[in-house]
């Protein structure tokens, strides 16, 4: 029988397959080699390469000689993050609108004088011998303006307000509590939380979430929002757990998370929209 065009095409394909070069055999990777090329969850080689590629990708602050000396001063005291050091260096910028003798003028002159800074840090270190006081400074530069006597008074106030708490750890994380009347306000906030949530260990809550006692958190305002919701029967079941003593009511970490979430500043909009369950 005469060959059809289709037969000719099939024979051509078969011939090409039989005369083509054989594929190279790729041996399976050994067990050790497979581990070396795997990208681990902690970063692995790919992460290390990314870090190397990004090195010097961002320009460092343009410092003059005095500012560079201050940057080195803070680096030597354990402030490794460049952004944090930049904040501290900026505290020493002269304030043209501040007259001599003004508190802000004295503050900026302190932060641009390494010798005065060393003495001020040493005084603070005597009160917090186990803490990184330089870290406290970038969190709240004003902490160096507080006299040792006032720092000690604030610590006493907080110890009375938060029996059982690690007060030193709390103020190391939130040094703003040492400024002005903030320690007294924190004590008042703790007392208000105890009245609103008698089943909660407020000292334990302060240990896990010290920011809750800062003025910025505004515990009194948050409690007022909760009371409005309670009066309208719209209190979140998540909050009710801690007032009624349900399962998990003694979990300080959970309470801090729920309290901060359920009383955030947008609570009124949820209330008017019929939110909160």
**Residue-wise pLDDT tens digits, 49-71:** 554 455 445 456 788 899 999 99
Check residue 95 and give its pLDDT.
66
- When the pLDDT of each residue in the chain is averaged and rounded to a whole number, the result is 79
Could you give the 3-state DSSP secondary structure of residue 271?
helix
Angle at 185 between CA 180 and CA 186, to 5 degrees: 110
pLDDT at residue 184 is higher than 70: yes
Degrees (nearest 5) of the Cα angle 82, 87, 91? 140
**Phi, psi at 156, each rounded to 5°:** -65, -45
Q: What is the pTM of this model?
A: 0.68
**pLDDT, mean of residues 12-27:** 50
Residues 22-51, mean pLDDT to the nearest whole number: 46
The proportion of the chain whose per-residue pLDDT surpasses 90, expressed as a percent, equals: 52
- Do the beta carbons of residue 9 and residue 3 sit within 8 Å? no
Report DSSP letters for 235-259, one per residue.
--HHHHHHHHT-TTTT-HHHHHHHH
Q: Tokens representing 182?
A: 């903030």
Query: Looking at residues 121-150, what average pLDDT do you find?
Result: 93
Give the count of beta carbons closer than 10 Å to the beta carbon of residue 80: 9
Task: Say yes or no to pLDDT of 109 above 80.
Answer: yes
pLDDT digits (tens, 9 = 90+) for 196-223: 999 899 999 999 999 999 999 999 999 9
* 162 burial level (CB within 10 Å; 0-12, 13-18, 19+): buried
E strand segments, 162-221: none
Would you state the structure tokens that stand for residue 201, as one six-digit string? 């260990």
Cα distance between residue 254 and residue 266, in whole Å: 20
Residues of the chain with pLDDT > 70, as a percent, come to 68
The pLDDT of residue 43 is 45
C-alpha to C-alpha distances, 102 to 89, 111, 148, nearest whole angstrom? 20, 15, 21
81 — pLDDT class (breaks 50, 70, 90): very high
Is the pLDDT at 39 greater than 50, yes or no?
A: no
Q: What is the pLDDT of residue 71?
A: 94
**In which band, very low, low, confident or very high, does the pLDDT at 230 lie, cut at 50, 70 and 90?**
confident
- Domain residue extents for the chain: 65-135, 181-277
- Inform me whether the pLDDT recorded for 125 exceeds 80: yes
| The predicted structure's pLDDT at residue 238 | 83
Q: What is the arithmetic mean of pLDDT over 258-276?
A: 62
Whether 54 and 29 have beta carbons less than 8 Å apart is answered as no
């Amino acid at each position: 029988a005469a060959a059809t065009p289709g037969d000719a095409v099939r024979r051509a394909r078969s011939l090409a397959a039989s005369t083509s070069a054989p594929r190279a055999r790729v041996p399976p990777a050994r067990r050790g080699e497979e581990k070396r090329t795997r990208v681990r969850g902690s970063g692995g080689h790919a992460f290390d390469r990314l870090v190397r590629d990004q090195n010097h990708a961002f320009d460092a602050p343009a410092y003059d000689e005095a500012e560079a000396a201050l940057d080195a001063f803070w680096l030597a005291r354990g402030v490794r993050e460049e952004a944090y050091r930049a904040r501290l260096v900026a505290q020493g910028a002269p304030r043209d609108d501040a007259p001599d003798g003004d508190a802000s003028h004295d503050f900026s002159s302190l932060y641009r004088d390494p010798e005065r800074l060393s003495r001020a840090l040493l005084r603070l270190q005597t009160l917090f011998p186990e803490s990184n006081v330089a870290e406290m400074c970038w969190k709240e530069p004003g902490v160096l303006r507080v006299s040792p006597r006032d720092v000690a008074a604030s610590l006493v106030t907080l110890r009375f307000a938060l029996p059982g708490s690690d007060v030193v750890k709390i103020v190391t994380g939130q040094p703003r509590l040492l400024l002005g009347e903030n320690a007294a306000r924190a004590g008042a906030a703790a007392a208000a939380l105890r009245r609103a949530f008698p089943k909660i260990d407020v000292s334990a809550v302060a240990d896990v979430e010290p920011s809750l006692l800062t003025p910025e958190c505004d515990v009194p305002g948050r409690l007022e929002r909760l009371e409005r919701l309670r009066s309208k029967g719209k209190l979140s079941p998540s909050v009710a757990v801690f007032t009624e003593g349900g399962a998990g009511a003694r979990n300080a970490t959970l309470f801090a998370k729920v309290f901060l979430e359920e009383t955030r500043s947008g609570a009124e909009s949820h209330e008017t929209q019929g939110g909160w369950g």
